[in-house]
Amino acid sequence: MAYTYSKIATYTVGSGGIPSVSFLNIPQTYTDLLVKVSARTDRATGSASDFSFIFNNSTTGYTDRYVYGNGSGTGSGSNAYTNQGFAGNITQATMTASTFGSVDIYIPNYASANYKSISTDATTENNATLTYNMPVATLWSNTSPITSITLQSASGGNLVQYSTFHLYGIKAEL
Amino acid sequence: MGAISLKYKSKSGNLTAPGDVDPGAMIPIATISVGAGGASSIDFTSIPSVYQHLQIRAIARSNRASASDSMKMTFNSDTTNNYAFHYLYGDGSTAVGDGTANYSSIALLEAAGNNATSGIFGASIVDILDYSNTSKYKTTRNLGGDDRNGSGLVSLTSGLWQNTNAITTISIIPFTGTSFLQYSHFALYGIKRAGA
């Protein structure tokens, strides 16, 4: 049988919201991980919420580089955060209601003894000019295999009801 | 904080020893390959609601008399101004960020046009997460582009359909051209959630 994505875990935020979501005890039997996120925060200040990940409860060793479009222009930057991995922006309370950001976080060779290079595609949406389309490259300078992933808004605020988080494993060979 | 402690599950749903994992979360739903006569529209209909996400993988070329074209995507036959889209693209020398609100479709970048060198097609991957969730408007994310050996474009595009209905049909047409050309190819996949 040919392998595609393997479903590992799913989390759906309930009423009341939640500050973060964690996938724990990640099996080490895949080659790559893929996290798919449909999320929104209740943050009511600023333009969009920064989304981030933390591996193995580690708050050191993260660097990043990103380019973005914001609906009227473009920009680029680096090292948005060093104590967590930057994963672009997600939609927040200042944007169109019932609208959630869409994020794919690809983590190749997550169980290796090398540093971890992460590729993220993140978009918010909004029935207005302002939104963010942002590819991000992140490096976690740590040789430990990834056994847990915590996902959160780095800008603060809670992840709201109906936000979903899905972890998939991908095997390189049968 | 929400935490998931991961264990393996067998297909019957019982906890088992590691290794007994149900593989295959990405399931082919339908494929449309354009024939010699071209196609004015690509339509995926009767999309089952049993998956968590949808993904479209496409290569496209239209009959627009230009080197490039884009595409328009609509859901459930809704062509009213219930959509918005935004994009970031680079063409090899310039980066552009722009978008449109209150529009009649979602724009997908990029398709090749009829003036591009023969055999060149634009490539796109479109993700539609939580497509059947009736508490959420539908957000799309599209990574696409085409390189024409001296010109081209790469883009990350987002779209919004302001409707909480589950998506049951997807229609894609050229943005400016009137038909997709032969060998354009569109594949629709369903992606399951854990436990499904």
- Taking only the tens place, the pLDDT of each residue in A134-155 is 999 999 999 999 999 999 999 9
Sheet-wide strand order for A62-69: A5-12, A164-170, A32-39, A101-108, A116-123, A133-140, A62-69, A74-78
The yes-or-no verdict on residue B15 having pLDDT over 90 is no
A123: which chain B residues are within 8 Å (Cβ-Cβ)? Answer: 86, 139, 141, 156-158
**Rounded Cα–Cα distance for residues B157 and B159 (Å):** 7
Assign A5 a pLDDT band (cuts: 50, 70, 90). confident
B101–A129 CB contact, under 8 Å: yes
Write down the pLDDT at residue A4: 72
Per-residue model confidence as pLDDT tens digits over A75-95: 999 999 999 999 999 999 999
Using DSSP, state whether B97 is helix, strand or coil.
strand
What is the chain B residue with the closest CA to A3? B24
Give B24's pLDDT tier (boundaries 50, 70, 90): confident
Backbone dihedral angles phi then psi of residue B186, each to the nearest 5 degrees: -130, 125
User: Does pLDDT of B66 surpass 90?
Assistant: yes
Categorize the per-residue pLDDT at B166 as very low, low, confident or very high, splitting at 50, 70 and 90.
very high
For residue B110, the model assigns a pLDDT of: 85
Task: Summarize the confidence of residues A6-13 as an average pLDDT.
Answer: 95
Note if the bond before A173 is cis, omega within 30 degrees: no
Q: Do A102 and B140 touch (CB under 8 A)?
A: yes
Residues 84-143 of A with CB under 8 A from B: 91, 96-102, 104, 121, 123-129, 131, 133-135
Task: Tell me B118's DSSP state.
Answer: T
Mean per-residue pLDDT of chain A: 96
State how far the alpha carbon of A56 is from the alpha carbons of A23, A60, A126, A139, A143, in Å: 10, 11, 33, 14, 11
Residue B16 has a pLDDT of: 35
Whether ipTM tops 0.90, in short, is yes
